[in-house]
Structure 1
Amino acid sequence: MKEFHTFGWYAARISPHLPKKAFQPVPSRLFGGFAYLSLTIGCILAVSLLHLHPVWNLLLAVVLGFSFAALGFLGHEILHGTVVRKPWLRDILGAIAFWPLCTGPKLWRKWHNVTHHVHTQDEEMDPDAWPSLERLAKSRLLRWVYKIPFPIRAFFAFSSLSVMFTLHSIKMLIYFFKDFQLKNRSVVLLQFFLPWSTWIGLLFFIGFERWFFAFLLPLLIANFIVMSYISTNHHLNPLVPVNDPLANSLTVTVPKWIDVLHFNFSYHTEHHLFPAMSSKYYPLVKEHIKRMWPDRYHELPMGKALAALWKTPRVYYQQNELIEPRQGHVYGSLGNGLDPENITYRNMEAMPFSSLEEKPIIIKKAVGKENK
């Protein structure tokens, strides 16, 4: 894809075809949230107060993990203002929904709404974008990570999905904290530490064994579910000079019942076109996108998207390709030669990161050679 358009450009062409109610908040989404909240409280009480067999506790932990993730999806929707519009009510409901994932509403809106959505897949500005080869050359940690053989690294990368949302949230707190006004910093810290204090307090109240099933294991499960979506949202797409959702975003497909339970979180391209629209109407937006720009739209079944992530590296080469520096394998990205049905690569000169001094030179030579 050589021509880019902003999300506003697409939205202006789709909006006239959508009903007016699609641009109104949908408070009825809170019924689903109430069901998940009730289920969460009930399962935690059951694990904490009843002497259940570990098998039953394990099953309840799975239900809790699914509920934690679903509440996070609803919290994402609430904090975009698509459920209620009053700021104080939006933040209270968003804080409750994100409580199991221990992410505060002020931090989330700064990190996700204000920064990620405005600068999607911009290497320098998007806090969720993966690095380019040039950034890899400047980071001692990344260079060490990419010395690990690709199959081993892919295994640990997928295993880390079970903790990645939590770790990234902590990183975002540190990264954005200085950007908040002094009067808001105490609120941001309170919104971050208050959920953690309740969960750690629960640990001392019920003991580690029950706490493991009531919170820790569900948190790991929720992390994995949430990050399975987030990892497929953009990480097979190229870095882009223009925030073009049809170039930098991927919609995954899941069974309809999962879409219902996950508040249509799979419709990610649609979300980046209309972030202030309830996800209830994203199937309608999808119909218009596929009718108007079928050659630009990226859509994959969730399983195939995750398999493609497993088989490709996460370092960008010249913005629109992915590179495995250790072996010199270069893969396409979506819209730039990547075929999820048949993932192949072309060979470049391998880049053995043997020392800090030689690496930028090797990269410079490789990029120069490719440009000729």
Structure 2
Amino acid sequence: MQDLHSFGWYAAKLKPHLPKKAFQPVPTRLWGGLAYLVITVVALLTIGLLDVFPLFYVPISIVIGASFAALGFLGHEILHGTVVRKPWLRDFLGAVAFWPLSTGPKLWRKWHNLTHHVHTQHEEHDPDSWPTLERIMKSRFLCWVYKLPLPVRAFFSFCSLSFQFTVHSVNMFVIYLKEFNPKKRPAVIFEAIVPWMTWIGLLVWVGPVKWIFMFLLPLLIANLIVMAYISTNHRLNPTTEVNDPLANSLTVTVPKWVDVLHFNFSYHTEHHLFPGMSSKYYPQVKQLIKEHWPERYHEMRFDKALIALWKTPRPYQDRVLVDPSSGEVFGALGEGLDTTNIKKVAKKVRESDLVSSLSNSKNQK
């Protein structure tokens, strides 16, 4: 891998080439959020008030789930301060947008803005990074899981995308709550509990059958859409000691109409260079990156990125991806991964090394 640079180093090089308006909030993005909110409310009322055979609710559930995900993408943008700047309004609108995913704005800014963005792909400090082989070997359950063949693990991993965001969000709440100032903790707890209270209240109001189609199935769909993006953001990239977005982040390409629906969420490398910039201007940032550092920039068609995730193991060891069950090593982006012909690299982790890692982990216990 080439020498790494911080995101600030890249941003300083590119900022003079960008218009000043690119660094101003873009409140017109809220019109898209209003459209999704109206669609969601109308769809929920349709299921709630219409008594038909439950299978007829499925298409409506898909629409609700897609709207949940899109609102989450907008909430992500709002809480970076790129839509409105007033803190109370930013948090209020962010809370509304993240309501379907039941993630509070204060938790999100702590977990995502202040930790993930600062320590992206750092194996110890990034709460969203995939664990290293050494960390996996410390868990008896994960040791058993990683003995399964790679295709089997990949299948269950992709199935888990339908609930990963929700589970991870709850986990982040447990981890980060104690780091908040004691005076702010009640607000953080309130933001976490109230959305779930509304969804539980909905269950009591409409009953379990309609609730499945009004919330549970849409939540699974939203998780799947959101996590399909998040999984491609960094999991094919290596871990890095220096927070270098061109090394540790991946931009995926989707049809233009999808970018419109998802608020340009596919431009992830650009987002890590300028998290305080509206995603409206990320196509301009992408063009500048490709002009300055075309050999360092990683982009991939969305479907091919998902296929690459399916075909490669996830644990990291020495910046590459290793399969604990076979010892086979696959490159990461910039570290030997050929996305046009995904295969293991020439070297292979010796079984004795895997046993040694496991032994060391047990001794540490």
TM-score by length of 2: 0.96
Matched residue, 1:279? 279
| Distance of 2:352 and 2:91 partners within structure 1 | 48
**1:135 positional shift:** 1.5
Q: C-alpha deviations, 1:8-56, integer Å up to 9, x for none?
A: 0000010001001000000000000000000000000000111134343
| Distance of 1:115 and 1:307 partners within structure 2 | 29
**1:260 equivalent in alignment to 2:260:** yes
Matched residue, 1:342? 341
**1:352 positional shift:** 9.9
| Distance of 1:265 and 1:244 partners within structure 2 | 19
Q: Could you tell me whether the CA contact under 8 Å between 2:134 and 2:357 is conserved in 1?
A: no
Structure 2 runs not aligned, ≥5 long: none
**1:98 positional shift:** 0.1
Structure 1 runs not aligned, ≥5 long: 364-372
Per the alignment, do residues 15 and 352 of structure 1 end up closer, same or farther by CA in structure 2, a change over 3 Å counting?
A: closer
SS in 1 for 2:184: helix
Matched residue, 2:49? 49
SS in 2 for 1:252: strand
Query: Structure 1 runs of 4+ off > 6 angstroms?
Result: 351-354
Equivalent residue pairs, number? 361
**1:249 positional shift:** 0.1
Q: Could you tell me whether the CA contact under 8 Å between 1:326 and 1:350 is conserved in 2?
A: no
Q: C-alpha deviations, 1:237-260, integer Å up to 9, x for none?
A: 000010000000000000000000
**1:26 equivalent in alignment to 2:45:** no
53-62 vs 200-209, greater mean Cα deviation? 53-62
Alignment of 1:289-308 (within 5 A): 289-308=289-308
**1:94 positional shift:** 0.1
Alignment of 1:146-225 (within 5 A): 146-225=146-225
**1:134 positional shift:** 1.7
Matched residue, 1:65? 65
Matched residue, 2:9? 9
Q: C-alpha deviations, 1:84-135, integer Å up to 9, x for none?
A: 0000000000000000000000000000000000000001100000111121
Matched residue, 2:121? 121
Q: Could you tell me whether the CA contact under 8 Å between 1:326 and 1:353 is conserved in 2?
A: no
**1:235 equivalent in alignment to 2:246:** no
SS in 2 for 1:138: coil
Q: Percent identity?
A: 63
Q: Could you tell me whether the CA contact under 8 Å between 2:250 and 2:269 is conserved in 1?
A: yes
Matched residue, 1:368? none
Q: Could you tell me whether the CA contact under 8 Å between 2:23 and 2:277 is conserved in 1?
A: yes
Q: Which amino acid aligns with 2:15?
A: S
Per the alignment, do residues 351 and 158 of structure 1 end up closer, same or farther by CA in structure 2, a change over 3 Å counting?
A: farther
Per the alignment, do residues 283 and 352 of structure 1 end up closer, same or farther by CA in structure 2, a change over 3 Å counting?
A: same
Per the alignment, do residues 244 and 353 of structure 1 end up closer, same or farther by CA in structure 2, a change over 3 Å counting?
A: closer
Per the alignment, do residues 351 and 55 of structure 1 end up closer, same or farther by CA in structure 2, a change over 3 Å counting?
A: farther
SS in 2 for 1:271: helix
SS in 2 for 1:182: coil
Q: Which amino acid aligns with 2:301?
A: P
SS in 1 for 2:81: coil
Q: Which amino acid aligns with 1:30?
A: L
| Distance of 1:26 and 1:279 partners within structure 2 | 9
Q: Could you tell me whether the CA contact under 8 Å between 2:78 and 2:93 is conserved in 1?
A: yes
Q: C-alpha deviations, 1:242-282, integer Å up to 9, x for none?
A: 00000000000000000000000000000000000000000
Q: Could you tell me whether the CA contact under 8 Å between 2:115 and 2:127 is conserved in 1?
A: yes
SS in 2 for 1:322: strand
**1:207 positional shift:** 0.6
Q: Could you tell me whether the CA contact under 8 Å between 2:25 and 2:81 is conserved in 1?
A: yes
| Distance of 2:312 and 2:326 partners within structure 1 | 12
Per the alignment, do residues 226 and 358 of structure 1 end up closer, same or farther by CA in structure 2, a change over 3 Å counting?
A: closer
Q: Could you tell me whether the CA contact under 8 Å between 1:328 and 1:351 is conserved in 2?
A: no
Matched residue, 1:106? 106
